[in-house]
């Protein structure tokens, strides 16, 4: 009888069980849950890849053959047909149209030879792009033909070559020129 009276209560038993359980270490794997962070990062990654892919600036790679000039303009780059004029070639939307020698067009590539202004391969290519863009305009009036081109030219390109390209663009109804430049605070660039 006396032994039964001294027996601990059920509450004390439960307290003891809790105390002993609390002594055990937490099993690994119950730490910080990184899944929400991973979800967020994956969404961020997809967003940035899409933004990068849709930007025409992604197609611009500066090199010794293509050094972009400096300008004080603050206008953000838009979207248009991209023409690159490097020291050794003219590239339209990623396709090399003709090769240049030290930034000059070979006379055989021009209508009228050395004194000519119309660059035949460029005229053909831009005519094709114009026809395509006008076809798109007919099918989808929300995408009108604006005659806009982005010109990424090497800073050493002689004006003669540039004027030949611009003249050819004018002949194919591309008269809205957007020169891509590096941003700078002072005229002529940083140095």
Residues that bind other proteins (CB under 8 A): 3, 6-9, 12-13, 16-17, 20-21, 24, 27-29, 34, 37-38, 41-42, 44-45, 48-49, 51-52, 55, 57-58, 60, 68-78, 117, 150, 153-160, 162-164, 166-167, 169-170, 175-183, 187-189
Comparing CB distances to other proteins, the nearer of 73 and 96 is: 73
Nearest CB to other proteins, comparing residues 42 and 96:
42
Rounded least distance, CB 134 to other proteins, Å: 18
CA distance 85 to 165: 9
Q: Using an 8 Å Cβ cutoff, are 118 and 109 in contact?
A: no
Select 76 or 95, whichever has its Cβ closest to other proteins.
Answer: 76
- Closest separation between CB of residue 35 and other proteins, Å? 8
What's the Cα-to-Cα distance from 149 to each of 11, 126, 176, 188, rounded to whole Å?
Answer: 83, 10, 6, 23
* Separation CA 130–CA 126 (nearest Å): 6
Residue 48 or 135 having the CB closest to other proteins? 48
CB of 150 to other proteins, least distance (A): 7
Q: How crowded is residue 16: how many other Cβ atoms within 10 Å of its Cβ?
A: 11
End-to-end Cα distance, the chain: 102
Nearer to other proteins among residue 125 and residue 154 (C-beta):
154
Can you give the C-alpha Rg of the chain in angstroms?
34
């Amino acid at each position: 009888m006396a032994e039964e009276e001294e027996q601990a209560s059920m509450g004390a038993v439960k307290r003891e069980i809790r105390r002993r359980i609390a002594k055990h270490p937490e099993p690994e794997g119950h730490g910080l849950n990184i899944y929400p962070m991973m979800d967020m990062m994956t969404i961020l990654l997809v967003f940035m890849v899409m933004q990068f892919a849709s930007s025409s600036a992604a197609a611009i790679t500066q090199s010794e053959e293509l050094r972009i000039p400096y300008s004080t303009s603050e206008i953000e780059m838009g979207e248009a047909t991209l023409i690159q004029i490097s020291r050794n070639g003219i590239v339209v939307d990623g396709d090399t149209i003709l090769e240049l020698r030290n930034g000059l067009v070979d006379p055989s590539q021009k209508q009228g030879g050395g004194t000519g202004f119309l660059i035949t391969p460029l005229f053909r290519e831009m005519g094709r792009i114009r026809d395509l863009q006008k076809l798109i305009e007919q099918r989808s009036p929300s995408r009108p033909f604006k005659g806009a081109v982005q010109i990424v030219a090497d800073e050493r390109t002689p004006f003669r070559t540039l004027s030949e390209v611009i003249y050819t663009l004018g002949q194919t109804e591309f008269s809205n020129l957007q020169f891509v430049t590096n941003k700078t605070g002072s005229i002529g660039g940083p140095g």
